[in-house]
């Protein structure tokens, strides 16, 4: 999860509910909800993982807050991130998406998302067994939660290996840093801080 380009405080301020949160999950409300209810919880299923891969790619170079606020528009634009449907997108669909003010209108990222859907669809007919099985095969051993935000790495050996595996299978915008951000988001690692109120899963 990245905060690049945003202080995370626009919209509303910190809430004093007596709960200790990871610093990025304090405010605004959309961050609190995402932190408390979703981030770091295990996510399985090919379409669900495809959504996370796609959103992390769109987030590259932007604030995650931008992506969260546009998430429903992304879902509508990309057919609920159903792999089979996005894999069938045409050049006309790409042009349509470029004109959609509800999403991040970046041609390279749009093209990458469509290409990634095609790559994900192809996985079902391989020994990988599908996107979810492939991604989760790189989950590291359970470890202690970090004590400080500075203890959280940007890249790990597992995220580097996952990035290489995805790129080998035709995925784009899946560098080691993006891969690790996704691993954290989908619960492959637990990077809530040690004093965070969110329980371990």
Is 120 among the annotated ligand-binding positions? no
Whether 64 is catalytic is yes
DSSP letter for each residue of 5-63: T--S-SSS----SS----GGGSSSHHHHHHHHHTTTS---SHHHHHHHHHHHHHHTTS-
Q: Active-site residue 180, yes or no?
A: no
Nearest to 103 by CA among 137, 145, 136, 69: 69
Closest residue by Cα to residue 11 from 70, 75, 73, 69: 69
From the list 56, 136, 158, 180, the catalytic residue is 56
Please confirm, yes or no, whether 56 is among the known catalytic residues. yes
Catalytic site residue from 31, 39, 64, 136: 64
Task: Confirm or deny that 39 is annotated as ligand binding.
Answer: no
Does the annotation place 44 within a ligand binding site? Answer: no
Spatial separation of the C-alpha atoms in residues 53 and 172, rounded to whole Å? 10
| Choice among 34, 39, 136, 180 that is catalytic | 34
Helix (H) or strand (E) run with residue 67 in it: helix 64-69
CA distance to 99, 136, 165, per residue, from 44 (Å): 31, 8, 18
192 is an annotated ligand-binding site residue: yes
Tokens of 70: 């546009």
Annotated binding site for Zn(2+): 22, 35, 192, 196
Annotated binding site: 22, 35, 192, 196
The residues carrying an active-site annotation are 34, 56, 64
């Amino acid at each position: 999860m990245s905060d690049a380009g945003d202080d995370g405080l626009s919209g509303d301020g910190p809430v004093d509910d007596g709960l200790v949160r990871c610093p990025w999950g304090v405010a605004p409300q959309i961050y609190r909800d995402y932190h408390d209810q979703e981030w770091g919880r295990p996510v399985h299923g090919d379409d669900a993982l495809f959504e996370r891969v796609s959103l992390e790619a769109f987030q590259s170079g932007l604030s995650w807050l931008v992506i969260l606020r546009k998430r429903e528009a992304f879902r509508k634009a990309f057919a609920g991130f159903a792999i089979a449907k996005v894999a069938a997108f045409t050049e006309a669909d790409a042009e349509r998406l470029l004109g959609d003010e509800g999403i991040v209108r970046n041609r390279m990222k749009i093209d990458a998302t469509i290409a990634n859907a095609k790559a994900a669809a192809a996985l079902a007919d391989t020994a990988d067994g599908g996107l979810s099985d492939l991604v989760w095969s790189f989950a590291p051993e359970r470890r202690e939660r970090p004590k400080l935000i500075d203890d959280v790495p940007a890249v790990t050996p597992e995220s580097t290996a996952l990035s290489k595996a995805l790129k080998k299978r035709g995925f784009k915008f899946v560098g080691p840093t993006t891969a690790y951000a996704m691993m954290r988001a989908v619960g492959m690692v637990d990077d809530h801080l040690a004093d965070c109120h969110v329980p371990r899963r």
